[in-house]
Structure 1
Amino acid sequence: MSTLISKVPPSAQRATLRTLFALPKIARRRIAGRPVRIDGLELDLDAQLLLKMQKLTDRDLASGTPEEARAALEESRSLLPGDPIEPVAVRDLQVPGGAGPRDARLYTPDGLAEGSGLLVYFHGGGWVIGSLDTHDNLCRLLAVEAGVRVLSVDYRLAPEHPFPAAPADALAAFRYATTNSDELGVDASRIAVGGDSAGGNLAAVTSYQAARGGGPLPAFQLLIYPAVDGTVRRRSRELFGDGFFLTDADMTWFLDQYAAAPGDVSDPRLSPLLGDLSGMPPAYLATAGFDPLRDEGEAFAKKLAEAGVPVVARRFDSLIHGYANLFPVIPAGRAAVLDAASALRTGLQLRPRTTTHYDLFRPTT
């Protein structure tokens, strides 16, 4: 953080944010400034206010070394107001990875019976940052609102473990869930994969590997603003690559850490948009209007539909990348997460369908 902000104790920063976002709308608007309108969309007021607060720091998502960026994300997590979502039972465990055991965390909502559905969740963070802790409250919210158990997986991170370490860990974790469903208290036929950003990429890649390699297939994909193509710069990256939380520079830095060998970016296990998507499980795919990843996510939803995969696409016009983690201060972000949870609940209750539903819906959020 900047010299001034770094002198303020985290508890005081947290209290300031709580006070700031509790102000009347007219006061928040005065602080945030005039509405931001790009590409026919208007930025959510609370997202705009949060971005203005971010400008008071000297830190981007990908600032400094990987170790420094990880520490910064962990620190920022503690600044968000609000208590952990309850009542949820949390159990730490280990699951197999591509090269040895990986830490994981199982979330069980209070009163949930044995034999529930399960979401195997992969956190975002550009394959370089993020952890079980940074996505703890998001996993709690999804578990409670979807009425499922959530298994959050701490896959290996780049650059220490570049591609394809993370996809190997993700697939191993999903296969563990399918073969240990009784131990986890879940129905083996109702195991979904999901994630946000890079985690959404790993969820899609896990489904791709399962579909192409045989064996159990996820029952559902929950993809929240996923990264799905590292080979093309689309229009949304040009429009929203600066000033909207995830930047163009961040995206370049993350991919440089992750894709170590020539040709990695064109591998469907990194860029699933380039692969054969037939036979993939039904999907919910959410994008944010002010996100540089928006257009590739929507291209992926369209290609899924063209491959005959049941898919529901949602664009939340007014939101930014990262809204799923920012739900404590962005009410529209919380509503978007609840939409995802509802889709997950429904997707795990329905039998597989043979018809395709492609609906690019733009809620007024």
Structure 2
Amino acid sequence: MSTLMSRVPLPVQAAFARAVFGLPAPVKRLIAGKPVRLDGQELALDAQLLLALDRLADHQLVKGTPEQARANLARAKQLVAGEPIEPVAVREVDLGGVPARFYAPEEETDALLVYYHGGGWVLGTPDSHDGTCRYLAREAGVKVLSVDYRLAPEHRFPAAVDDAVAAFRHAHAKAADFGVDPARIAVGGDSAGGNLAAVTSLLTTRDGGPAPVFQLLFYPGTDNTVRRPSRELFKTGFFLTSADIDWFCDHYVPDVAQRADPRFSVLLAEDLSGLPPAYVATAGFDPLRDEGEAFGAKLAEAGVPVTVRRHRDLIHGYATFLGIGTRFREATAEAAGALRTGLALARR
């Protein structure tokens, strides 16, 4: 059945997914199966249904070579992203040699989010996260720069970090070109992108600035030197697997000795004091959950204003699943509100 479904044209698969998510809750429950409860949490019906459809379509986040995995992600995006979110003006830009995509909402704003997409430093593009950036631009009322940083294994660590920092610094230096206040520039990202946002905050702060005024971190990877309980509890069956994480790290940082470098395992930085305020969101059924929350706790210990929010019923990747169901948008809407508030407080 899964092989047959995977051969169905993508537009048909997408229409089928939308139809399934539009069914009454009791029918969706029949399709998804019995509620999944683990670690004192119950998986959201929307998340469980998405996982069931993934199995039906034989979709895996990591499958084959990096090139094949990138193609798979591009196809999967069509199933979960939905129609483009409007009204948002979009154009391609150059950030001092680093490509990016610029989003401007209809709402007048002088605030900017420099956004780093997820994908384990191997996958992902501004295309794969177009829906997330459009959503944040419209709902948070900010302009967004989605950074197209270099990917591994073609460009290994610290290439992505170098691009992330260079992109932020260029955006800050050229703030007037984007119609934004340089004192109201935040960084954000999901998963590997959350890692890059946190690392950018660390490096620019330690260099004496300019630094971001806010961090928006969706389920960030923060420490690959320790396997915390969530890595074992949710190692399979919940979209991102423990084996996927190993595959990503082996491509991005093949030298295991380098994985303790704070530019990769940012949680291991000796001093996090002075970093910008942060909203750190984790998903309950995510192998990265515990390290993300540990980073939030360490920020708080260092005196950084931080909100750590665990969405107990969700899975890794929820900020990119905005075209189906309602629960994923609910969680992302909370983050948009946090971003709007954080940038409002940064106003001179």
- State the TM-score, normalized to the length of structure 2: 0.97
2:268 to 271, 274, 298: 274
SS of residue in 1 equivalent to 2:183: strand
Q: Give the structure 1 partner of residue 21 of structure 2.
A: 21
CA distance in 1, matches of 2:286, 2:142: 28
Q: Is the alpha carbon distance of 1:226 and 1:81 closer, same or farther for their aligned partners in structure 2, counting shifts above 3 Å?
A: closer
- For residues 50 and 31 of structure 1, what CA distance do their matches in structure 2 show? 10
The percentage of counterpart residues that share the same residue type is: 61
| Amino acid of the structure 2 residue aligned with 1:118 | L
TM-fit CA distance, 1:61: 1.1
* 1:301 aligned counterpart, secondary structure: helix
Task: Quote the Cα distance in structure 1 between the aligned partners of 2:256 and 2:284.
Answer: 32
Post-superposition Cα deviations, 1:138-166, rounded to whole Å, max 9, x if no partner, equal 10000011111000000000000000000
Between the aligned partners of 2:81 and 2:206, the Cα distance in structure 1 is 43
Is the Cα contact below 8 Å between 1:288 and 1:320 reproduced in 2? yes
Task: Pick one of 297, 307, 324 that aligns with 2:292.
Answer: 297
Counterpart residue identity of residue 188, structure 1? P
Structure 1 residues 1-365: aligned runs within 5 Å? 2-80=2-80, 82-96=82-96, 101-113=97-109, 116-275=110-269, 276-351=271-346
Cα-to-partner distance string for 1:305-342 (whole Å, 9 max, x where unaligned): 00010101111010000000012213111111111110
Distance 2:11 2:328 in 1: 23
CA distance in 2, matches of 1:111, 1:49: 35
Gaps of 5+ in 1: 353-365
Deviations 1:115-151 (A, max 9, x none): x110000000000000010000110000011111000
Following superposition, which runs of at least 4 residues in structure 1 exceed 4 angstroms of deviation? Answer: none
Counterpart amino acid of residue 194 in structure 2: G
Contact 1:2 1:58 in 2 (8 A): yes
Structure 1: distance between partners of 2:116 and 2:233: 27
3-state DSSP of counterpart to 2:118: coil
Shift of 1:2: 5.0
Q: Distance in 1 between matches of 2:206 and 2:247?
A: 30
- The alignment's TM-score, normalised by the length of structure 1, stands at 0.93
For the residue of structure 1 that corresponds to 2:168, the secondary structure is helix
Measured in 1, the distance between the counterparts of 2:124 and 2:49 equals: 23
Structure 1 or 2: more helix by fraction: 2
1:73 is displaced (CA, Å) by: 0.2
Stretch of structure 1 that moved more, 79-88 or 333-342: 79-88
Partner Cα separation in structure 2 for residue 108 and residue 243 of structure 1: 37
Which whole-Å deviations, capped at 9, do the CAs of 1:24-80 have from their partners, x for residues lacking one?
000000111100000010000011011011112444211100000000000111123
User: Number of aligned pairs?
Assistant: 346
Post-superposition Cα deviations, 1:233-261, rounded to whole Å, max 9, x if no partner, equal 00001111100000011000000000033
Aligned residue identity for 2:138: V
Q: Secondary structure at the match of 1:308?
A: coil
